[in-house]
Amino acid sequence: MASKACHSCLQLPPPFLLPRAAFGLVPKRGIKSISTPRETRFTRGKGLPQLEASTAAALERKWYTTPLRTGGLGTKKGMSAVYNTETGRRQACTIVQMDRVQVVAHKTRQRNGYYAVQVGSGWKHPSNVTRPELGHYAGHGVSPKRHLVEFKVRDEQGLLGIGETIGASWFQEGQYVDARANSRGMGFAGGMKRHGFKGQGASHGVSLTHRSMGSSGQSQGGGSRVLPGKKMPGRMGGHQVTTQNVKVVKVDEEKGIVVLNGCIPGPDGCLVKLSDAIKKPWPEIPMVTSDAQAVAEPLRETT
């Protein structure tokens, strides 16, 4: 024992008085989620199941719903309608314009723990971009972008080449997409508007509390406290909302227009993230843009 030698030369108190750290017998403490699990005779050996709390297990769980290819960025321009000339049916539609959407960087499993494509859209004057960010763009040979968004992909086959442009034709007419955008901000809203509370009566002695939320819980017996997550007035809207399975009605590569069926979240002019719908079969579209189509072959659903 090392502490014995120390005792003799430095005149330290007997070992049982020393702090326990000197023994090396104290179990290593740390944050469970970031420190690797301790090796014991139960965790060692082959054929043991994968730890469910690991990154690898999480990626495997999400494997089925992770898109094969990256999505695109657009701006919501407004809503219009389309008439089907055969059936005469009218369809409301939303027009999204894609502007200078390019792949800026990649995220890889080895380096970042997951596969993703960083996509930028628009353009920002270099004088308005900070030097670290400017270096990021310069390092990848891409012009500074107004918006930067990451799209997760399943594996390295989905990593579209850096600098490649994602136009409107990245999506196909008839395919389904998921549209994500920040919803319209409502500001500080009451319980009736925010959560659909009924409010209180207009009469029968109700005074000045017609739209108030009422009680927030019991008193003695219910714990005399407000339970966590109680729906209350507060900030409403302005958070990301996803509309799933939106059909692509029309695509115009030249104008950068993607016409979507129905409505999508957000006000006009907001940034819209479009990606292949995860609840529909993956579209059979080449995984590369038109510029590089000759190089790579289309990738199809493997399952």
Partner 1 sequence: MASSAPILRPLSCWKALLRQSRQQKMCIRCMATAQTPVKKLRPPPPLPSSFPSPYKLTHKGHEPAKKIKTYPPPPSARNKFPTPLVDWTAQHLKDIDPTGSRTRLFAKDNKDAPQPGDILLVTFKTGDPFSGVCLSIRRRGVDTGILLRNRLMMTGVEMWVKIYSPNVTAIEVVKRAEKRARRARLYYMRKPKHDRGSVEGEVEEYLKKRRLIRSGALGIKDPTMSTKRPESSRSGVKAR
Where does this chain bind partner 1 (CB under 8 A)? 75, 77-78, 80-85, 88, 90, 95, 97-100, 102, 122-123, 126, 131, 134-135, 137-138, 141-144, 165, 167-168, 254-257, 259
Of 28 and 131, nearer to partner 1 (C-beta) is 131
Least separation, in Å, of the C-beta of 140 and partner 1? 9
Least separation, in Å, of the C-beta of 125 and partner 1? 9
Of 136 and 154, nearer to partner 1 (C-beta) is 136
Least separation, in Å, of the C-beta of 86 and partner 1? 8
Least separation, in Å, of the C-beta of 90 and partner 1? 6
Amino acid symbol at 87: T
Of 137 and 176, nearer to partner 1 (C-beta) is 137
Of 170 and 282, nearer to partner 1 (C-beta) is 170
Of 145 and 152, nearer to partner 1 (C-beta) is 145
- The full 3-state SS of the chain, as one line of letters, equals CHHHHHHHHHCCCCHHHCCHHHHCCCCCCCCCCCCCCCCCCCCCCCCCCCCCCCHHHHHHHCHHHCCCCCCEEEEEEEEEEEECCCCCCEEEEEEEECCCCEEEEEECHHHHCCCEEEEEECCCCHHHCCHHHHHHHHHHCCCCCCEEEEEECCCHHHCCCCCCECCHHHCCCCCEEEEEEECCCCEEECHHHHHCCCCCCCCCCCCCCCCCCCCCCCCCCCCCCCCCCCCCCEEECCCEEEEEEEEEEEEECCCCEEEEECCCCCCCCCEEEEEECCCCCCCCCCCCCHHHCCCCCCCCCCC
Q: CA nearest 273: which of 180, 173, 161?
A: 180
Least separation, in Å, of the C-beta of 162 and partner 1? 12
Question: Distance between CA atoms of 98 and 219, rounded to whole angstroms?
Answer: 55
Least separation, in Å, of the C-beta of 85 and partner 1? 5
Please give the C-alpha separations between residue 14 and each of 19, 120, 247, in angstroms, as whole numbers: 11, 65, 77
Of 98 and 213, nearer to partner 1 (C-beta) is 98
Least separation, in Å, of the C-beta of 69 and partner 1? 20
Of 76 and 154, nearer to partner 1 (C-beta) is 76
